[in-house]
Amino acid sequence: MKIVGVVAGYTLILLTMAIGGALLAFWNVERTTWLTDRMNLAHRSYSAHLRLSAHSYQLFKQFGDAVVIGDQDGGRGEREMIARVLEDISEIRSIIYAEIRLAGEGEREELVVSERIASKLNALIIEFDDLIRSGQSLDPVTRWLRFSSLLDERIDQEFRSLMEGAIREESEEAEAARQALAEGARRIRIIAMVFALMATLLTLAVTIYYRRRVAWPLKRLMLGVEQMRAGDFNRPITVSGRDEVSHISHLINQLASDVDEHRQALERQNARLESAVAERTRELERLLEEARQAERNRRRLLAEVSHELRTPLTIIHGESDVALRGRHTSEGEYREALKRTREVAAHTSALIGDLLFIARQEGGNPSLQCESVDLVVFLKDALSLAPRLVSLDTTLSQAFICGDRLRLRQSVLALLQNARLYGGEYLVVGLQAKGDDFRIAVEDDGPGLSDTDKELVFERFFRGTNAARNYTEGSGLGLPIVRSIARAHGGDAGLYDRDGGGLVVYLDLPRGGAVEVCS
């Protein structure tokens, strides 16, 4: 039998027992409440009849005293007792109406009996009242005979029997309600014991089934899985039966066999791969060493070329100064030529200086003159050197870093130059705190860059489509030198599209100045 079926059957039986027990408990509560109310009404009716009987005989005694010795208080005592009797009759009627609402129309017979008692009391009161009023005109013997007849026949025989019957009936009704309530309690106890016995037997049966068909097989299953986890796949798990646990054990045995086969195949393949990887590693190490050597050679060549070109450019610069001081016939033209030569030499010297800085930064040996720099004050000074008015957008009052003031100014002016040449009319420089860094951002509303240009714009000598098409000047070292300066300060540079069009180029500098090299 499937474990799921057993659990479902057990759950269904428990649910049925729970629902049945709840309904039975609800019915017993309602039945007990009804019987309790019925018994309370019966006791109240019984007590009310006893009070009516006592008050009636007290009234008769008052009337008897008035007949025998005369009315001493003018009928006040009789009127008080008549009021009590009427209150008792009214209470009995209200109780009977409550019993009718609770038990049905079968209780109307008690209402008829109460009306008969009320009528009999009313007739006796009238007769006593008539006897008292006419007692003065009767002779004592006649008055006594009438009084004796009233006591013996009307009260002792008729009223007493009627009253005793009503009291006896109410007492029997209260006893019957009490017995019914006791029987209901006994029945509830029996049903509760039956339900408890059924639940105990069912739970015991399910527990035995669980231990034999679930707990013990699961224990063997877990022991076998632990052995397989330790690498022993040669001990199959043995669980008998046709339930889910036995099916799982069969699947695990199949899985263990497949895993063992795959493991052996993987070990063989792993041996082949280790041999191939070792050979490939040796080859890669050789290629990597060659690449490193080539990179070192390239950087050394770049540094040497920059260094060698600086000397002739310096000579050209000096000769141009000398030529400008000479006096010849075509002095204006000669001076103009020498002036251009000097400007080209100065531009070439700056270009070589930038290349030399990039090479040193990539080689891990940048040359920086570090000092404490407040970026707020620094940017205001740098922006004052811009060819057009540029605003500074910042909420910071101070932003101190450790850096090379000249190199940082070169970076900011390069960003402004790019934005001025390739951006639009809108140009703003922002300064904000960004985590552990301060970010200098230059925004413009120009045409921006394509995705391809964004990936190459920080490469040396690369010029974007917009710059190459519209501007002939420029060497393509502006943004590369900006990134090299930023990285030499322990930061970085980047760009992204501006909301609404344009470009944002930023320069991140660490707070306090985690500079790579300061010399």
pLDDT-derived band at 517 (thresholds 50, 70, 90) equals very low
Instruction: Please state the rounded mean pLDDT for residues 300-326.
Output: 62
How far is the C-alpha of 400 from the C-alpha of 416, rounded, in Å?
A: 22
Residue 107: inside a domain: yes
Distances in Å between the Cα of 388 and the Cα atoms of 1, 177, 419, 420 are 90, 109, 11, 9
Q: Which residue is it, tokens 């709840």?
A: 22
CATH code for the domain in which residue 192 is found = 1.20.120
Instruction: Please state the rounded mean pLDDT for residues 112-121.
Output: 81
CA 40 from centroid of its chain's CA atoms: 54
Instruction: Please determine, for residue 387, whether its predicted confidence score (pLDDT) is greater than 70.
Output: yes
Q: What is the mean pLDDT of the chain?
A: 76
Residue 246: inside a domain: no
- Cβ neighbours of residue 484 closer than 8 Å, sequence gap 6 or more: 357, 358, 361, 362, 366
pLDDT on residue 426: 85
pLDDT in tens, 471-490: 445 556 678 888 888 888 88
Find the range with the poorest average confidence among 100-104, 333-337, 455-459. Answer: 333-337
pLDDT on residue 141: 63
Instruction: Please determine, for residue 469, whether its predicted confidence score (pLDDT) is greater than 60.
Output: no
Residue 226: inside a domain: no
How far is the C-alpha of 415 from the C-alpha of 379, rounded, in Å?
A: 12
CA 321 from centroid of its chain's CA atoms: 79
Question: Which of residues 365, 386, 401 is at a domain's end?
Answer: 365
Question: Do β-strands 503-510 and 437-444 pair in parallel, antiparallel, or remain unpaired?
Answer: antiparallel
Domain region containing 356: 261-365
Residues above pLDDT 90, as percent of the chain: 1
- Comparison of pLDDT for 298 and 270, the residue scoring more: 270
Find the range with the poorest average confidence among 74-78, 161-165, 444-448. Answer: 74-78
- Comparison of pLDDT for 303 and 28, the residue scoring more: 28
Instruction: Please determine, for residue 511, whether its predicted confidence score (pLDDT) is greater than 60.
Output: yes
pLDDT on residue 300: 56
pLDDT on residue 241: 66
pLDDT in tens, 395-435: 888 889 988 888 888 888 888 888 888 877 888 899 998 88
The token duo for 61 is 């005694």
Instruction: Please determine, for residue 515, whether its predicted confidence score (pLDDT) is greater than 50.
Output: no
Is residue 341 domain-shared with residue 419, that is, in the same domain?
no
pLDDT on residue 105: 73
Instruction: Please determine, for residue 309, whether its predicted confidence score (pLDDT) is greater than 70.
Output: no
pLDDT-derived band at 165 (thresholds 50, 70, 90) equals confident
403-428 residues labelled b (16+ CB within 10 A) or e (exposed): bbbebbbbbbbbbbebbbbbbeeebb
Residue 419: inside a domain: yes
Predicted TM-score (pTM) above 0.85: no
pLDDT-derived band at 462 (thresholds 50, 70, 90) equals low
Residue 211: inside a domain: no
Is residue 491 domain-shared with residue 350, that is, in the same domain?
no
**In terms of Cα–Cα distance, which of 406, 408, 461, 417 is closest to 442?**
417
How far is the C-alpha of 3 from the C-alpha of 15, rounded, in Å?
A: 18
Residues above pLDDT 70, as percent of the chain: 71
Instruction: Please determine, for residue 344, whether its predicted confidence score (pLDDT) is greater than 70.
Output: no
Residue 519: inside a domain: no
pLDDT on residue 70: 67
Residue 207: inside a domain: no
Instruction: Please state the rounded mean pLDDT for residues 150-176.
Output: 76
Is residue 339 domain-shared with residue 379, that is, in the same domain?
no
Distances in Å between the Cα of 506 and the Cα atoms of 158, 373, 435, 495 are 120, 18, 14, 6
Is residue 72 domain-shared with residue 133, that is, in the same domain?
yes
Cβ atoms of 488 and 516 closer than 8 Å: yes
- Comparison of pLDDT for 274 and 450, the residue scoring more: 274
**In terms of Cα–Cα distance, which of 372, 444, 382 is closest to 411?**
382
**In terms of Cα–Cα distance, which of 64, 176, 199 is closest to 131?**
64
pLDDT in tens, 13-42: 778 877 877 787 787 778 788 888 888 888
pLDDT in tens, 201-221: 888 887 887 777 777 777 777
Q: How crowded is residue 206: how many other Cβ atoms within 10 Å of its Cβ?
A: 16
Question: Which of residues 155, 177, 199 is at a domain's end?
Answer: 199
Is residue 335 domain-shared with residue 394, that is, in the same domain?
no
CATH code for the domain in which residue 483 is found = 3.30.565.10
pLDDT-derived band at 519 (thresholds 50, 70, 90) equals very low
Question: Which of residues 365, 380, 395 is at a domain's end?
Answer: 365
pLDDT on residue 472: 43
Q: Which residue is it, tokens 């860059």?
A: 449
- Comparison of pLDDT for 303 and 440, the residue scoring more: 440
For 236, which DSSP code?
Answer: -
**In terms of Cα–Cα distance, which of 347, 344, 343, 365 is closest to 356?**
365
Is residue 375 domain-shared with residue 349, that is, in the same domain?
no
pLDDT on residue 514: 45
Residue 127: inside a domain: yes
Number of domains in the chain: 3
Is residue 171 domain-shared with residue 277, that is, in the same domain?
no
Is residue 356 domain-shared with residue 402, that is, in the same domain?
no
- Comparison of pLDDT for 381 and 132, the residue scoring more: 381
Cβ atoms of 139 and 73 closer than 8 Å: no
Does the CA dihedral 364-368-372-373 come out positive or negative? negative
Is residue 38 domain-shared with residue 154, that is, in the same domain?
yes
Find the range with the poorest average confidence among 213-217, 367-371, 385-389, 458-462. Answer: 458-462
pLDDT on residue 135: 59
Instruction: Please determine, for residue 124, whether its predicted confidence score (pLDDT) is greater than 60.
Output: yes
Cβ atoms of 354 and 381 closer than 8 Å: no
Distances in Å between the Cα of 190 and the Cα atoms of 182, 194, 196, 424 are 12, 6, 10, 96
Is residue 292 domain-shared with residue 437, that is, in the same domain?
no
Cβ atoms of 404 and 360 closer than 8 Å: no
DSSP per-residue codes, 42-102 = HHHHHHHHHHHHHHHHHHHHHHHHHHHH--SSTTHHHHHHHHHHHHHHHHHHHHHHHHHHH
pLDDT on residue 216: 73
Is residue 45 domain-shared with residue 182, that is, in the same domain?
yes
pLDDT in tens, 232-284: 766 676 666 666 667 677 777 777 777 777 777 888 888 888 888 888 888 88
Is residue 67 domain-shared with residue 22, that is, in the same domain?
yes
